[in-house]
Amino acid sequence: MVSLGITLLILSPFLLLLFFSFPILSLSFILLFLLSYLLIFCKSTSRHHRKLPLPPGSLGWPYLGETLQLYSQNPNLFFASKQKRYGHIFKTHILGCPCVMISSPEAVKFVMVTRANLFKPTFPASKERILGRQAIFFHQGDYHYKLRKLVLKAVMPENLKTHVSDVETLALQSLKSWENRSINTFQEMKMYTFNVGLLSIFGKDEYLDREELKQHYLTLEKAYNSMPINLPGTLFHKAMKARKQIAAIMSKILDCRRQRKEERNDLLGSFMSEKEALTDEQMVDNIIGVIFASRDTTASVLTWVLKYLSDNPKFLQAVTEEQESIVRQKEGTGEVGLTWADTKKMPLTSRVIQETMRIASILSFTFREAVEDVEYEGYLIPKGWKVLPLFRNIHHSPENFPDPEKFDPSRFEVSPKPNTFLPFGNGIHSCPGNELAKLEILVFVHHLTTKYRWSVLGPQEGIQYGPFALPQNGLPIRFLRKT
Ligand code: HEM
Ligand SMILES: *[C@@H]1O[C@H](CO)[C@@H](O)[C@H](O)[C@H]1NC(C)=O
């Protein structure tokens, strides 16, 4: 059975093609495909007591069409009709797993904050093996708590303050390299956020192996959504080799630091400093993990910021004026470059970034799994079922944000109600990197708006989901220095 499952997984892209060409003929294949996916993503669900009713909704037939839609389309459309019919909590089937979707602030609080111990994060097996089993995302309890503390220590404001001018140098380098060119905004932003990520992990030094490390990471990244089959020639196999090479580079860096007995305030320093320090393997998994968590996320948000600024000239003007006023304030003080304090004098720009994160909702939802039978509002959430907080739906609900499709940064002049604005999640697994993300976005926008202008090339509408929401084609633009 298992080997059949694996064969089907290898064949799955062809099965998908089959599915679209001969829907009826291939139905049996689809079922087998899902069965095999089940082996990998869904652990067997428990025989739960049936005293309580399950949430409303239909489990229906676990069919692939829905799963594909979920990953490739606007989940708003996907869930809107179900939500309308069943309310803020309903059951359905995706990726061959029974699951419960939630979209009320109360349910989010229950799952992510107050009863977070009953809902563990869950990922497909391939992600776990590529990032490394010891990475923070896959854990609960003591080990998770310790890792989180170490990450937070490296990116707390006290530390970030000392990195502002280095982040600024990286932003200026990127912008300079775009001058007079037509670029793919998302691809270029990924280079900037990669560089900032490496800066926060390794500090300014150790440039030695940085390019090599980047190359191996890029190989790894290609396999994020591949099937976890370790056979020569597969993306997954190449990724496993790249992991070994990253581990080798890391071990050189660790040797070097141990010899010099340096105390450093970067992430690696934090991982090494603790009395109960991490093992080398744990460090590798978590460094790969932090690059993964910080890079595409921040790059997508930055891409959306450019998109919404060019779609809303009024706000581009207002942001530019706010940033120019910071330049003026600094004139004559002899201070060169931005400081942490400067980034706290950008209220309007900050609201534009918040509104961008709300509308774009780059993470449409996240996954949890019930670790035991849980009762919520009289419903049973059975052990082993997935639970999906639907961030995008919460951010686009008129109950939480009136006229939700309108880009209106002024709505953030008052703080949003608890658990209605979740760009960084909430609770024990919420994003520890949010201050770093905000810093690198603000620094970038400062130089972008005061020195450059750009125009969007090609079609202006359309969103792609893969898996982060992005403007169509990554937002191609023509980029010029202001005269
Ligand atoms: C604008 C950019 C970013 C966004 C929108 C974002 C969003 C998120 C969200 C929503 C989560 C929680 C996921 C869940 O609960 O399932 C998360 C977790 C995480 N993020 Fe970010 N993130 C961003 C940037 C960063 C950066 C720059 C770092 C670098 C330190 C980072 C590191 C992490 C880590 C390590 C976790 C896992 C935390 C845990 O499991 O305890 N993120 N992020
Ligand atoms: C971009 O073009 C302008 C005007 O033609 C020129 O002055 C400037 O040096 C160019 N910048 C780069 C980086 O090539």
What tens digit of pLDDT does each residue of 147-187 get? Answer: 999 999 999 999 999 999 999 999 999 999 999 999 999 99
Region 72-76 average pLDDT: 61
pLDDT greater than 60 at residue 11: no
Q: pLDDT higher for 47 or 454? A: 454
pLDDT greater than 70 at residue 416: yes
Q: Which ligand is closest to the CA of 146, given by its number?
A: 1
Comparing 70-74, 180-184, 206-210, 268-272, the range with the smallest average pLDDT is 70-74
Reported as a pLDDT band with limits 50, 70 and 90, residue 247 is very high
Ligand 1 neighbours, Cβ below 6 Å, are 121, 136-137, 148, 151, 155, 290, 293-294, 297-298, 301, 362-363, 366, 423-425, 429-433, 436-437
Reported as a pLDDT band with limits 50, 70 and 90, residue 80 is confident
Query: Is residue 431 part of an annotated ligand binding site?
Result: yes
What distance in angstroms lies between residue 481's CA and the mean position of ligand 2's atoms?
8
Q: Which ligand 1 atom is nearest residue 427's CA?
A: 15
Reported as a pLDDT band with limits 50, 70 and 90, residue 480 is very high
Q: pLDDT higher for 261 or 435? A: 435
Region 393-397 average pLDDT: 94
Q: Which ligand 2 atom is nearest residue 481's CA?
A: 1
pLDDT greater than 80 at residue 111: yes
Region 15-19 average pLDDT: 33
Q: Which ligand 2 atom is nearest residue 179's CA?
A: 13
Q: How many CB atoms lie within 10 A of CB 45?
A: 16
- CA-proximal residue: ligand 1, atom 27 (nearest): 294
Tell if the pTM clears 0.85, that is, is over it. Answer: yes
Distance CA 196, CA 297 (A): 13
- % residues pLDDT > 70 (the chain): 85
Mean pLDDT for all residues in the chain: 86
Q: What are phi and psi of 271, to 5 degrees?
A: -60, -35
Q: Which ligand is closest to the CA of 173, given by its number?
A: 2
Comparing 70-84, 214-228, 301-315, 467-481, the range with the smallest average pLDDT is 70-84
Region 410-430 average pLDDT: 98
Distance CA 413, CA 228 (A): 46
Q: pLDDT higher for 474 or 209? A: 474
Q: Which two tokens stand for residue 376?
A: 């919520």
Paired residues of 94 in beta bridges:
97
pLDDT of residue 62: 53
pLDDT greater than 80 at residue 94: no
> Is 67 within 8 Å of 94 (Cβ atoms)?
yes
pLDDT of residue 275: 75
Which residue out of 193, 297, 369 has the highest number of ligand 1 atoms within 8 Å of its CB and is therefore the one to mutate?
297
Distance CA 480, CA 448 (A): 10
Distance CA 136, CA 146 (A): 9
322: which residues sit within 8 A by CB, 6+ positions away?
346, 347, 348, 349
